[in-house]
Amino acid sequence: MERRIHHALIFISLLILTVLMIPSGLFTGVSAASCTAELPVTLELTSDASSTDKTFTVEITGEDADTPMPTKSVLTFTGSGTKSFTGFNFTELKDYHYTVKQTTADEAGYTIDYTEYSVTIRIVNSQTAEGEYYAEIWLSSGGEDTKPGEIIFNNSFTQASITVTKTCRLNGERIGIDYTFYGALFSDAAGTNRVSAVKDIEVKLADNGKVSVSFDNLPAGTYYFFETDADGNVIYQTVDGLWVVLEGCQGQSFTIDNENRYADMWLVNDFMEIPPVNYTYVPEDEDDPWIEEYSENYPDYSHGKNPVPPPTPTPAPTLNPSGNPTGTPTSPVTGDETNTDLFILIAVLAGAFTLILIGVRAKLRRKSEH
């Protein structure tokens, strides 16, 4: 009996010792000698547009195939924000090395921050909980270590736009006018393939005959501006049947790319006939930038940002006292045309014939008297 009790005590002792030697992780499912880490990434997007639809991606890669990786190795952003690489599982006291970089594709209008961050996650013994591990994160970009540091990518977007400023004149003198004009962008120099909506260019007397419209959020490409009718058909020498000389950016082109994002152009409508709407002559303001830009024949539509070649000047006819245009238009017009040389020749011949007739009649009279 005593021997049996002795054997039982030995068995119980061995059982207790065995239980004490089994790692606690066997029961919890997570070893105390392991830890995880969270690696936050911030992407900042500066934009002059209300919104963009571009997707930005940031990727993390390990030093080798055995380096513990997060649950997701690519973070996706659709604008500014902060996300984290998570799900690491470290089980050894050592340094783990990673590279974090942006893998977003280049696109016109966007400036992408391609800074590469070298990341070291150092696993050390916890100073607060015995037997547990703790992760320290060290960052390096450009060869200088920082702790804890931040991973930040600064992107920017500049929307592409073309602004057209309309100015009106009557026989060379600036006027304010109540009138609605129209304009659009085309992809060809002939103005046959319209690629934008038709913009209303509504000029008011209060605007002193000057108003601007913008074509915004333009994708990369070459654009030609033309004044049109309300349906988008290009006009050349007439506006609603009125004879108008178009000067400035009519038919001018501008190319949108990653470097050239903005153009500021001028278009002048010089009426050669008195428009049948409210208008008034506007005194020229010497401080108005329009004066300097127009007088110098548009040397730079874009105020120094993106030079546009100056247009070819078009000779403008003048108005006679009756209000009708005189001179030679740049394209044929209908109506009577007077040949001055022919008129003078006919007048000379008629005068000579009259003198001859008077001489003959005088000679006949003298004969009859004798």
Question: Tens of pLDDT along the chain (370 residues)?
Answer: 555 544 444 444 544 444 344 333 222 223 457 899 999 999 999 987 766 778 999 999 999 999 999 999 999 999 899 999 999 999 999 999 999 999 999 887 888 999 999 999 999 987 777 778 989 999 988 666 555 578 999 999 888 889 988 888 887 788 888 888 899 999 999 999 999 999 998 888 777 777 889 998 888 889 999 999 999 999 887 777 788 888 778 888 898 887 788 888 888 888 888 888 888 888 766 555 554 554 454 443 333 233 333 344 344 333 333 434 333 333 333 344 445 566 677 766 777 667 777 776 666 666 666 5
Q: Are residues 129 and 186 located together in one domain of the fold?
A: no
Q: Tell whether 341 is covered by a domain.
A: no
Domain hosting 61: range is 32-157
Q: Report pTM.
A: 0.53
The predicted structure's pLDDT at residue 273: 84
Q: Are residues 149 and 165 located together in one domain of the fold?
A: no
d(CA 2, CA 10): 13
The predicted structure's pLDDT at residue 175: 86
Q: Are residues 58 and 76 located together in one domain of the fold?
A: yes
Number of domains the chain is built from: 2
Q: Tell whether 5 is covered by a domain.
A: no
Q: Tell whether 21 is covered by a domain.
A: no
Q: Are residues 118 and 171 located together in one domain of the fold?
A: no
Q: Are residues 42 and 149 located together in one domain of the fold?
A: yes
The predicted structure's pLDDT at residue 76: 96
Q: Tell whether 43 is covered by a domain.
A: yes
- 161: β partners: 262
Phi/psi of residue 183, each to 5°?
-155, 160
CATH number at residue 63: 2.60.40.3050
Q: Are residues 114 and 193 located together in one domain of the fold?
A: no
Q: Are residues 70 and 124 located together in one domain of the fold?
A: yes
d(CA 324, CA 23): 106
Q: Tell whether 344 is covered by a domain.
A: no
Q: Tell whether 19 is covered by a domain.
A: no
Q: How many other C-beta atoms are found inside a 10 Å radius of the C-beta of residue 305?
A: 12
| Single residue among 326, 347, 364 that ends a domain in this structure | 326
Q: Tell whether 272 is covered by a domain.
A: yes
The predicted structure's pLDDT at residue 39: 95
Q: Are residues 169 and 267 located together in one domain of the fold?
A: yes
| Single residue among 137, 157, 177 that ends a domain in this structure | 157
Q: Tell whether 192 is covered by a domain.
A: yes
Q: Are residues 235 and 119 located together in one domain of the fold?
A: no
| Single residue among 135, 157, 179 that ends a domain in this structure | 157
Q: Are residues 173 and 292 located together in one domain of the fold?
A: yes
Residue type at position 345: L
Q: Are residues 79 and 208 located together in one domain of the fold?
A: no
Q: Are residues 128 and 276 located together in one domain of the fold?
A: no
